[in-house]
Structure 1
Amino acid sequence: MSGEPSAWSRYPGYRIDLLPCPSKGRVTYGGKTLAESSACIVVQESDHDARLYFPEKDVNWELFEASNHQTHCPFKGDACYWSMPEEGKVLDNVVWCYRDPFVEVSGLKGYVSFDTDLLAVELVQSWVKGGEHSVVTRFPIWGDAQDLLDLINVQPTTANQFSSHPYPNPPIGTFIESLKEKRRRSVVEGGHQLSQAIVAASKTVPDQRVTSASMIFSKAASFEEPLDVQVDVLRAGRNFSTLEVKTVQQEQMRSVGLVLMDSSPGDRIKHSIAMPEVAGPDEAKPLDMRVTGREIRVVDGAYTNDLDHIGPPELYAWIRFREAPETPYLNAALMTQAITHWTIAAALRPHPGLSQALAHVSLSTGPLKADINFHDDVDVSQWMLYVNDAVYAGKGQAQGQGKIFSIDGRLLATFAVHTMIRDFAGGAGKGHNAM
């Protein structure tokens, strides 16, 4: 031991949470499995990204050699390291553990963690619905689909007033001022706010369904503070109702929208356009947005960081969730959440040297407005095809038109997304937490 004292007494509000991991953990490199365990723990710590820790017994130690490197953490104790020889080179200090951790984190004893930059640290979930298969998500994750649903499912506070809690809740917090600039932006996406508006409207007028919703995103909102959703019933009719919905954070309006609701009469006539003939989910490329419990596959791998991947201004994405909520409006809200993911990537595809990888880095991007119209019933545990066409790009903006189909070809919804794409006025920006 270094003999350096613990810092817990000086920072009584500092937090390190050791949580059981519900998924199997796995570490790979170059096709080799370095560790695999169903008994991992997730370590969430102030000022740090989450870390996945593996029981020592579940590590393939023959692939590693002890290192002389040591470090000291004022909240966890002294760390020792291992390196990995690999084809004429050495990956230095990619595994570490705390042999004698401080008493506040004594649960770390017997566990090791891995470098997530040099090694592939993953969560592996087994899904049964639609045939048993594994869904792999790179660690650290943003969260689980249930976390996403909990945030979208805003809860009433007073009449026509709703709220969603911060995420994570309670916040881990930042105690070291210099680290605040290093943390990734925790931005609530436009589609997420539109989803919350749909839920709030559905709870305000429970005997009607949302048939369309539109929202303008005036100012960025953060997951680090509660979001208040305010509903004003402009007209409550027997057949149709019109509601205004505002999202407010720290007493500032972040978005405002209109929601049209109806009483859902039977069909007098019915038809819809056909689903385009594109590769199905089994042939599409998996896209990892760091959310467990949700599976995304993109046709032709069109959502990419590759600056040389040129293609038409269109993008086709298949999405499904591990489970579907019982309430129809929550299915509609979860389906809505993803509509603002795609327009910017589709708009950048035809342009050499550009891709969505530059969003929030050298390009200032984000949704300005989104609209969705609901047509048929949706079960989000079944594959949904998002058809996204960037029909115009120019003057620092892009316009997307989209459709969502069920796996059996039913038209579930149509949508439009208006976005901003321009250079940063003052240089590079910060990354953000896309979901």
Structure 2
Amino acid sequence: MTEETRATDPAGMIAQLEALLTVEELDRDLYRGARQPEGRGRVFGGQVIAQALMAAARSADPERVPHSLHAYFMRAGDEQIPIIYRVNRDHDGGSFSTRRVVAFQRGEPILNMAASFQKLEQGLSHQFPMPDVPPPEALPSEAEERLKVAPQVPEKFREFFVRPRPFEIRHASPWSPLEAEPQEPVQHVWFKTVAPVSGGPEMHRAMLAWASDMHLLGTTMRPHGLSWTQPGVQTASLDHALWFHGDVRVDEWLLYSTDAPWSGRGRGFNRGMIFTREGRLVASVAQEGLMRKR
């Protein structure tokens, strides 16, 4: 069987991402998540979270939508093989349903996740305002900025550094692809998929879960002037929490506003808020990551 080639055109990349996140049912509450086309490295944490969320959602009443998930990464995933997801139906109450998901590769768990689903209801409402930042049209794309400095990137990282990605990124705060100077531990980043998403609300939520793992560790490295392209820098996500506040479309511009209040003991703590272009807060994120300078 010929290995599927990784798409590089916008529509192809989004079609492949949708296929990647559409888990296959093997048995009741047992699912298989596809591997990345041409996968050779460590699985991106956002992929495992998104596939686990899709598996958990398959066991919940369609009228109940996910409002939160909490995940722990235990082992690095391998892009060369699929991931198996086992769902446990812990609780179905009058308004909420709770699920636990364990992701496996080669018989060993790589992620534990708890997710909660709610039957939608009306309630008291408030939110933080969106930061005042330039609109995405006024900013260069991250892909363009990466190409400018690609010759300075170590050769072993260069192909990955400039690889086309399924999300278009535009930085609304001071940023350099190589991050050599200390900066405030705050970032504001516009993002959206590079082509329309054909799936329904569950696919948009899964893709948001995928994207929520971007930029957090980068934020906590900013005050130290570090980048993952520098020699001796070791980073990895340790845990990840995501709260969904409302409906979202990932093929429309979203602002990811992140900060990192603390780092120490080989770890960095990060927070994020995701806003629509109109200023509606649709998700909040928290993550702690491994951060070592050897």
TM-score scaled to structure 2, two decimals?
A: 0.86
| 2:280 aligned partner | 410
**Equivalent in 108, 114, 122 of residue 252 of structure 1:** 108
Partner deviation per Cα, 1:128-155 (whole Å, 9 max, x = no partner):
xxxxxxxxxxxxxxx8122222212212
| 1:56 aligned partner | none
**C-alpha separation in 2, matches of 1:152 and 1:282:** 29
**Equivalent in 116, 131, 135 of residue 280 of structure 1:** 135
**C-alpha separation in 1, matches of 2:73 and 2:233:** 18
| 1:391 aligned partner | 261
| 1:334 aligned partner | 207
Give the secondary structure class of the aligned counterpart of 1:388: strand
Contact 1:369 1:419 in 2 (8 A): yes
Higher-strand-fraction structure: 1
| 1:145 aligned partner | 14
Partner deviation per Cα, 1:98-141 (whole Å, 9 max, x = no partner):
xxxxxxxxxxxxxxxxxxxxxxxxxxx6x9xxxxxxxxxxxxxx
Contact 1:285 1:301 in 2 (8 A): no
Query: In structure 1, what residue type is equivalent to 2:184?
Result: P
Give the secondary structure class of the aligned counterpart of 2:138: coil
Query: In the TM superposition, what is the alpha-carbon distance from 1:285 to its structure 2 partner?
Result: 3.1
Contact 1:303 1:356 in 2 (8 A): no
Aligned counterparts, 1:83-98, within 5 A: none
Query: In the TM superposition, what is the alpha-carbon distance from 1:293 to its structure 2 partner?
Result: 4.5
**C-alpha separation in 1, matches of 2:227 and 2:293:** 13
Structure 2: state its 5+ residue gaps: 144-161
**C-alpha separation in 2, matches of 1:247 and 1:415:** 21
Aligned counterparts, 1:8-407, within 5 A: 23=9, 144-168=13-37, 186-207=41-62, 208-265=64-121, 267-288=122-143, 290-302=163-175, 304-308=177-181, 310-321=182-193, 322-352=195-225, 354-358=226-230, 361-407=231-277
Give the secondary structure class of the aligned counterpart of 2:137: coil
**C-alpha separation in 2, matches of 1:16 and 1:162:** 21
Query: In the TM superposition, what is the alpha-carbon distance from 1:161 to its structure 2 partner?
Result: 0.8
**C-alpha separation in 1, matches of 2:3 and 2:207:** 31
**C-alpha separation in 2, matches of 1:300 and 1:196:** 31
Query: In structure 2, what residue type is equivalent to 1:279?
Result: P
Does 2:268 match 1:420?
no
- If asked which structure has higher relative contact order (CA below 8 Å, sep 6+), I would say 2
Contact 1:348 1:356 in 2 (8 A): no
Structure 1: state its 5+ residue gaps: 1-12, 24-124, 128-142, 172-184, 425-435
Contact 1:145 1:292 in 2 (8 A): no
Query: In the TM superposition, what is the alpha-carbon distance from 1:325 to its structure 2 partner?
Result: 3.5
Partner deviation per Cα, 1:46-95 (whole Å, 9 max, x = no partner):
xxxxxxxxxxxxxxxxxxxxxxxxxxxxxxxxxxxxxxxxxxxxxxxxxx
Query: In structure 2, what residue type is equivalent to 1:258?
Result: A
**C-alpha separation in 1, matches of 2:102 and 2:251:** 29
| Aligned CA distance change for structure 1 residues 348 and 195 (closer, same or farther; 3 Å) | same
**C-alpha separation in 2, matches of 1:396 and 1:405:** 30
Highest CA radius of gyration, 1 or 2? 1
Percent identity, aligned pairs only, is 24
TM-score scaled to structure 1, two decimals?
A: 0.59
* 4+ aligned runs moved over 6 Å, structure 1: none
| Aligned CA distance change for structure 1 residues 296 and 386 (closer, same or farther; 3 Å) | same
| Aligned CA distance change for structure 1 residues 291 and 210 (closer, same or farther; 3 Å) | farther
Higher-helix-fraction structure: 2
Give the secondary structure class of the aligned counterpart of 2:223: coil
RMSD, aligned α-carbons: 2.4
Contact 2:271 2:286 in 1 (8 A): yes
Contact 1:313 1:347 in 2 (8 A): yes
Query: In the TM superposition, what is the alpha-carbon distance from 1:299 to its structure 2 partner?
Result: 1.6
**C-alpha separation in 2, matches of 1:285 and 1:298:** 8
**C-alpha separation in 2, matches of 1:252 and 1:196:** 17
Contact 2:88 2:101 in 1 (8 A): yes
| Total equivalences in the alignment | 274
Query: In the TM superposition, what is the alpha-carbon distance from 1:300 to its structure 2 partner?
Result: 3.5
